[in-house]
Amino acid sequence: MDHKIGVIPFDISGGRVSIMFVTSQRRGRWIFPKGNLKPDESHKKGCKREAFEEAGVEGRIISELPMTHVVTKSSNGKLSEVAVTYYPMLVSKQFDKWPEQAKRERQWALLEDAGLVADCKDFQQVIKQFAAIKPLILETAKRKKP
């Protein structure tokens, strides 16, 4: 089984949490940015790279709260399972132009509505875990905010 790293981009406004989705390249599903680590790349650096390439965002990775889930990936017409370690990322900047903007769309959703955006069970579980540890994520994000 392959292993990838990814981010759950989020923002806080007026006490409400929103998370950002991007479309997958092959099936057009709403997913979170993820990818392979490059040789000698840390999880944190890989996550920041993937977030910028796929979603056009920068932010602070909350490395203390990783969440590993098995998700289904389509490759060459075949479905396979991939373990992905996601890290919450408090978005500080969203760019109008980014490397994969021609290949992907992005969308923000309030955390309580996120389950309506992600139609795949894989991502429903990721969202549920994010929501379950939301108090820890918010507490850690406050400490990390510049």
- State yes or no: pLDDT of 75 exceeds 80: no
Q: How is residue 118 written in tokens?
A: 């992600």
Q: pTM of the full predicted structure?
A: 0.92
34 Cα distance to chain centroid: 7
Instruction: Characterize the bridge pairing of strands 78-94 and 67-75.
Output: antiparallel
Q: Which amino acid is at 6?
A: G
Task: Dump pLDDT digits (tens) for 91-124.
Answer: 999 999 999 999 999 999 999 999 888 877 788 8
Phi/psi at 135 (nearest 5 deg)? -55, -40
Kindly indicate the confidence band of residue 14, based on its pLDDT and cuts at 50, 70 and 90: confident
Which carries the bigger pLDDT value, residue 25 or residue 64?
64
| Rounded Cα distance, 131 and 115, in Å | 11
Domains of the chain with bracketed CATH: 7-67+87-144 (3.90.79.10)
121-132 and 134-144 are packed helices; what angle lies between their axes, rounded to 10 degrees? 60
Task: Dump pLDDT digits (tens) for 33-71.
Answer: 999 999 999 999 999 999 999 999 999 999 999 999 998
Q: How is residue 14 written in tokens?
A: 């007026």
Mean residue pLDDT of the chain comes to 91
